[in-house]
Amino acid sequence: MVEIPPRRTPQVIAEERVTQILRAADSWASDVPEPLAPAVRAVCLRLAEMIADARHEHLVQPEPLDADAVRALDLVAERLRAPATIRGLETELQGLTALELRATGSWATVPSAQSEWSATAILYLEQRAASLPPADRLADYWADDLVAGVIASVRALVSG
C-alpha cells in the first residue's frame, strides 16, 4: 500500500517560501558591494511581498486559486512585512515607500503599472549605488538586471 504524505498546511508552505525568498534576497545582496546590500535586500523583500500578495497573484492565474493557496500567499506577504523579517531594513523600506514602490493592485494586470513599479525599484537601487566610491560602482544596467531577476525568481518561488 502506498503511503500518502500528509497535506502541507498553508502555514508550512508559507514558511518554506519565506525562507526561500530570504535566502534568495541574501544571494542577490551578496553580489553587490556591502554598503548596497541592505538596499538590495529591501527591494527583494518589497518585490516579493507585492508578488505574493494574493490580491495580485490570483489576477494572473488562468484558474481560480484554491483557498489554501490564497491563504499561503497571504501568509507569505504578511511574513515579509513582519517586524522580525524587516529588522535592520526599516530605513531602506521607508526610502522605497517614499518613492511609492507600493503600487496599487493593478500592477499585476496592467503592464504600464508593472513597468512603473519596476522602474521605481531600479531608480531606488541606482540612487543608492550612486553614493558608492567610484571603484565600487557597478556596471551599467545592473539594477535593471537585478530587478528583472528578482521578479522572475520570486514568481517561481511563490507559485511553488
The 3-state DSSP class for residue 16 equals: helix
pLDDT at 62: 62
pLDDT tens-place string over residues 27-36: 999 999 999 9
User: Would you state the cell numbers that stand for residue 26, as one nine-digit string?
Assistant: 541574501
pLDDT at 111: 63
The number of residues making up the chain comes to 160
pLDDT at 158: 78
Please give the residue that has the higher pLDDT: either 63 or 118.
118
Q: Are 39 and 23 in contact (CB under 8 A)?
A: no
**Looking at the predicted structure, is the pLDDT value of residue 60 above 70?**
no
**Looking at the predicted structure, is the pLDDT value of residue 3 above 90?**
no
DSSP string, 62-123: SSPPPHHHHHHHHHHHHHHHSHHHHTT-HHHHHHHHHTT-S--GGGGT-HHHHHHHHHHHHH
**Looking at the predicted structure, is the pLDDT value of residue 145 above 70?**
yes
What does pLDDT average to over the chain?
Answer: 84
pLDDT at 116: 78
Q: CB within 8 A of 134, min separation 6: which ones?
A: none
Reported pTM: 0.84
Section 120-146 average pLDDT: 93
- Residue spans of the domains in the chain: they are 10-159
pLDDT tens-place string over residues 7-59: 889 999 999 999 999 999 999 999 999 999 999 999 999 888 888 875 555 55
Q: CB within 8 A of 42, min separation 6: which ones?
A: 86, 89, 92, 93, 95, 96
**Looking at the predicted structure, is the pLDDT value of residue 105 above 90?**
no
